[in-house]
Structure 1
């Protein structure tokens, strides 16, 4: 299996095409196959999400791609090569694999976990060490802080980040992800989803992602395969097409009654115009900071790397000896890969009804407000011939 790289409008594609042709898994003694003649093409460089109820066969279908489960019949083709003709160990080492609760080796440090596959395929120590640090940086973990820690010393979200780093360490063209974020809390789950989208924008892998959460599928997937019993494909299309026109009542049940609200999940914050606000840094003098907030009454405090820390008001600055001693801690921030639905949820929980947006390295990028959402929805309605969102229907 070899990587291919072609330029696209948003990123370089390093993934490869996967084709499933009538793939079936029939376990001995069972009257019906667990997976029955599944056929689908997974385009290179896209995230394809398999979504369906528990027990429908979606994980079995995914595991037949890297032959953790051997198909009873049918063909899996990866980058034009029949997976059945390849040595299974070499096949698996060329495909990243990330599972729920990370699946890290508890007796190994973070660095050794990440180095597992590069070591198996013969990389030298210097190259492995450099790649380990690169992967930790890529998933937002400081190498100096985390490389010598053990999994038990990490939070659930940090373990999942290390799991993704390990899956990507040998630079595989294909990444299989089996409900990787299902065991973490909702806030951490949203952050990990954003992180995956950021990584995909940089790396352009082919990702097959299994989940039972349709909202997660809409947020992450370039395409979604809604599966029924025995992995029968009920609909395989883009999230927008499935939300707009479910193929049958079963798919409509997955979509739910809030299809209009889910449409907000289809737009990323990077696709809308952001607002701005006054900013000061922790190193600014108290006089400079007071001058900045004089006309606005409040500002955003940034650190030396322009990462947002907290809100500060003119009243707070009036009684503080230094900028670093004033302000109200900032809650969770949004990334450019966050969706407008993420933005709406942030606005509903923020005391200022304002979401702070950060760039790739955590730097301040702008604000999202209710006005941002209204302007976007008005533009969508105008584009489709409807009345602006601020107007009442006739």
Structure 2
């Protein structure tokens, strides 16, 4: 039992939305509740971003994953610029191939070090949800969402437009 709809959606297998007076407005799975509110009361209760939150329940198995050029911490300036091949941002990985941040090769004055990294942004598990993939793309300074395997190793990157294309392919993704 909670009054926090975000907590209920995140943790519950079934969610009950109650009307004033204790009557049930809707009982459903979090995914179905977000995708198909029973009425305006439930839709208003869920809030304006229910479409975005609902992406957490939609798998992203068919995303176009791009091979991402990388360098290791300690790589020299020339290597970083060569690998970047004109791109503004270059992904830096550790010895286990786990992403550690992004660097701007044109601003390097010495080997790639921790102080050069832009660590903002999230990573998403490959095959995870559309919401995780979209968030990774939108939160990355490079606008390329980093996808990792179960061990945290880099698999590749995804662009927001590729996630949006997949959303439009999902059943119910086009409300027109």
| TM norm structure 1 | 0.37
**Which entry has the higher C-alpha Rg, 1 or 2?**
1
Q: Which runs of 5+ in 1 are unaligned?
A: 1-57, 59-210, 388-392
| 1:306 CA drift (Å) | 1.3
Question: Of 53, 62, 67, which residue of structure 2 is paired with 1:262?
Answer: 53
**Match for residue 335 of structure 1 among 124, 148, 159:** 124
Q: CA deviation at 1:279?
A: 0.7
Matched, 1:245 2:45: no
**Superposition pairs of residues 277-288 of structure 1, within 5 angstroms:** 277-288=68-79
- Closer, same or farther: CA 354–315 of 1 in aligned 2, 3 Å: same
Contact 2:120–2:141 (CA under 8 A) maintained in structure 1: no
The CA deviation at 1:282 is: 1.8
Give, in whole Å, the separation in 2 of the partners of 1:249 and 1:290. Answer: 54
Contact 2:92-2:99 within 8 A present in 1 as well = yes
- Cα deviations by residue, 1:147-192 (Å, 9 ceiling, x for unpaired): xxxxxxxxxxxxxxxxxxxxxxxxxxxxxxxxxxxxxxxxxxxxxx
Alignment of 1:304-343 (within 5 A): 304-317=95-108, 319-320=109-110, 322-324=111-113, 327-336=116-125, 339-343=129-133
Aligned residues between the structures: 174
SS of 1:240's equivalent in the other structure is helix
Relative to 1, partners in 2 of residues 1:225 and 1:334: Cα closer, same or farther, differing over 3 Å? same
Taking a change above 3 Å as real, the CA distance of residues 240 and 287 of structure 1, as seen in their structure-2 partners, is same
Aligned match of 2:82: 291
Q: Report deviation, 1:277.
A: 1.8
Alignment of 1:77-156 (within 5 A): none
Relative to structure 1, the CA distance from residue 310 to residue 243 in structure 2 (aligned partners, 3 Å threshold; closer, same or farther) is closer
- 2 CA distance for matches of 1:289 and 1:306? 16
Segments of 5+ residues of structure 2 without an aligned counterpart are none
Q: Which deviations, in whole Å up to 9, do the C-alpha atoms of 1:222-246 show, x marking residues without a partner?
A: x322143798654332233223333
Aligned twin of 1:351: 141
Structure 1 position 347, deviation (Å):
4.4
Rounded to whole Å, the distance in 2 between the matches of 1:385 and 1:333 is: 24
Question: Does residue 76 of structure 2 align to residue 276 of structure 1?
Answer: no
What CA distance in whole angstroms lies between the structure 1 residues aligned with 2:146 and 2:128?
A: 11
Residues in 2 aligned to 1:355 and 1:295: alpha-carbon distance in whole angstroms: 19
The corresponding residue for 1:66 is none
SS in 2 for 1:306: coil
Q: Is the 8 A contact 1:333 1:357 kept in 2?
A: no
